[in-house]
Amino acid sequence: MEKDEEYKDFVKEIASHIRALNDMAVREYTPLVDDICSRVASRNEVERMLDYLFDFAGNDKILLLYRRVCRHYFQIYPESIAWYIMEYRKEYDRESLIGTKYEYLLHEDEDEDNNDPKSD
């Protein structure tokens, strides 16, 4: 019984740290997104920003920042933004790919594992 309580406390502590990290990411990235969306940044700078945001895109507030950058730059760098949108969908919104021409992307990881010589 005591182990169950220790485990629950441990999980609560980890969840608390994850929330704090997400809150910190929102505070840190919001002014950067404000800046990058107030001008026309280079493709490299936009892609770097989306890379940074991607790791936190499971958080609703960071997702709003991610979408804001994508919307701002879609007309300027359509190929790059389309790639980042698809990466988001593959990682965080897999159900949105089911029944579309992109459904095959859901199985990319499986195909890579099957072709990996280390897995034999």
Rounded CA-CA distance 106/108 in Å is 6
Residue whose tokens read 């999980």: 11
- pLDDT tens profile 33-78: 999 999 999 999 999 999 999 999 989 999 999 999 999 999 999 9
Which pTM does this prediction carry? 0.79
- The domain limits of the chain are 2-92
Residue whose tokens read 């990466």: 87
- The answer to whether 69 and 33 are in contact (CB under 8 A) is yes
Q: 29: burial class by Cβ within 10 Å (0-12, 13-18, 19+)?
A: buried
- pLDDT tens profile 70-92: 999 999 999 999 999 999 999 88
